[in-house]
Amino acid sequence: MSLLEVKNLKVHFPVKQGVFSRVHAHVKAVDEVTLSVGVAETVGLVGESGCGKTTLGRAIIRLVEPTAGRVLFEGEDLTQLRGSALRSRRRKFQMVFQDPYGSLNPRMTVGQIIAEALDIHRLVDGAPARQQRVAELLRAVGLDPGHAQRYPHEFSGGQRQRIGIARALAVEPRLIVCDEPVSALDVSVQAQIINLLQDLQEQRGIAYLFIAHDLAVVEHISRRVLVMYLGKLVETADARGIIHAPKHPYTQALISAVPVVDPASKRRRIVLPGDVPSPIDPPSGCPFHPRCPVAEARCRVEVPLLREVSPGHWAACHLA
Ligand code: SF4
């Protein structure tokens, strides 16, 4: 059984207009998404800004209320939980945010930030045990336990992301949704954080849903990769299949933008025309057709379904 199974998840935000704030349309941020994450598995989720990745990650851990669909965590449907039942399950899934500074309370010391989750879930008894656990967590993410008395502004970006990871680890989660955790960091620091996440996964058996727009990073850390466009999954496969044999024209364009080290490589950059269309009124047929370099007449009217085009490799394209 998968650790996490998401079935036909939708997150539609109402758009209100006029003096009576009537709902006149919906932003389809996430539309009929189905995915799974196994125990201690890393699944990468990629796509351009505004494609719905972050909303999907937040809906999975119920920071955003889903409109429809199911989120099964260890077989239990999280969408049916409310109040204390949901709070008690929150221990098992955490989130690491893109902006490590914005997500840490600047008025709290690092020790207080990490201990907050321990106190909410009553995981330690008394001040000495709390202090000891905070020290253990700081050591686990490569920081000095003496840093517990300092404030977030005293740390570098990479160190702040380590604090965010220590806070997530405090409740011993089984799944962490990592929302662009390295995109705000320098390249050398990115590698250190990725290595840290991999080490922690090995030691603690944590699964990650790793959201990013940088395919090179996603290939490095993920076993499987999901590609999202306008709120829908358009391709899923193992990381190798996505990077080296992408089937969907959108994925092919994303891959073509990844810098290549080998000067002899013949990879040609595919530049997509226009911007991502509005999710309020997505294009008919295949939502990618206005930007697709190989679109045909039927792409304007027929919606391509996500289908298995080779073993374990799924794509939503008539031509795949
Ligand atoms: Fe392009 Fe048509 Fe495939 Fe959509 S279905 S990605 S428009 S070829």
CA separation (Å) from 291 to 95, 273, 282, 294?
A: 33, 6, 12, 9
**pLDDT given for residue 314 in this prediction:** 98
Q: Where are the beta strands (DSSP E) in the chain?
A: 4-17, 22-37, 42-46, 68-73, 76-77, 93-96, 175-179, 207-212, 224-229, 232-238, 307-310, 313-315
Backbone CA torsion sign across 129, 134, 139, 143: negative
Name the token pair of 225. Answer: 């990769």
Among the atoms of ligand 1, which is closest to the Cα of residue 249?
6
Distance 256 CA to ligand 1 centre (A): 17
Distance 102 CA to ligand 1 centre (A): 39
**pLDDT given for residue 263 in this prediction:** 62
Among the atoms of ligand 1, which is closest to the Cα of residue 294?
8
Among the atoms of ligand 1, which is closest to the Cα of residue 299?
2
- 52: alpha, beta or left? (left if phi > 0; alpha if psi -120 to 50): left
* Nearest in space to 115 (alpha carbons), one of 101, 91, 132: 132
What CA–CA distance (Å, rounded) separates 244 from 44? 15
Out of 289, 300, 303, 307, mutate this one to test ligand 1's pocket (max ligand atoms within 8 Å of CB): namely 289
H helix intervals, 245-305: 249-256
Reading the chain (320 residues) residue by residue, the pLDDT tens digits are: 699 999 999 999 988 877 777 777 889 999 999 999 999 999 999 998 888 999 999 999 999 999 999 999 999 999 999 988 998 888 899 999 988 778 899 999 999 999 998 998 889 999 999 999 999 999 999 999 999 999 999 999 999 999 999 999 999 999 999 999 998 888 889 999 999 999 999 999 999 999 998 888 898 899 999 999 999 999 999 999 999 999 999 999 999 887 766 666 666 788 888 888 888 888 999 999 999 999 999 999 999 999 999 999 999 999 99
Sheet hosting strand 68-73, strand order edge to edge: 22-37, 4-17, 68-73, 76-77
**pLDDT given for residue 268 in this prediction:** 77
Among the atoms of ligand 1, which is closest to the Cα of residue 296?
2
Out of 229, 250, 299, 300, mutate this one to test ligand 1's pocket (max ligand atoms within 8 Å of CB): namely 299
What CA–CA distance (Å, rounded) separates 97 from 295? 36
Distance 64 CA to ligand 1 centre (A): 31
Out of 235, 294, 301, mutate this one to test ligand 1's pocket (max ligand atoms within 8 Å of CB): namely 294
Among the atoms of ligand 1, which is closest to the Cα of residue 293?
1
Name the token pair of 16. Answer: 């209100």
209 in Cβ contact with 221 (< 8 Å): no
Q: Report which residue type is found at 44.
A: G
pTM value is: 0.92
Residues with CB under 6 A from ligand 1: 248-249, 286, 288-289, 292, 294-296, 299, 304, 317-319
Q: How far is CA 112 from the centre of its chain?
A: 26
Distance 246 CA to ligand 1 centre (A): 13
Q: Whose CA is nearest to atom 8 of ligand 1?
A: 295
Q: Whose CA is nearest to atom 7 of ligand 1?
A: 289
Distance 314 CA to ligand 1 centre (A): 14
Among the atoms of ligand 1, which is closest to the Cα of residue 298?
2
Reduced to 3 states (helix: H, G, I; strand: E, B; else coil), residue 178 is strand
Distance 320 CA to ligand 1 centre (A): 8
Distance 82 CA to ligand 1 centre (A): 40
Among the atoms of ligand 1, which is closest to the Cα of residue 250?
6
Among the atoms of ligand 1, which is closest to the Cα of residue 318?
5
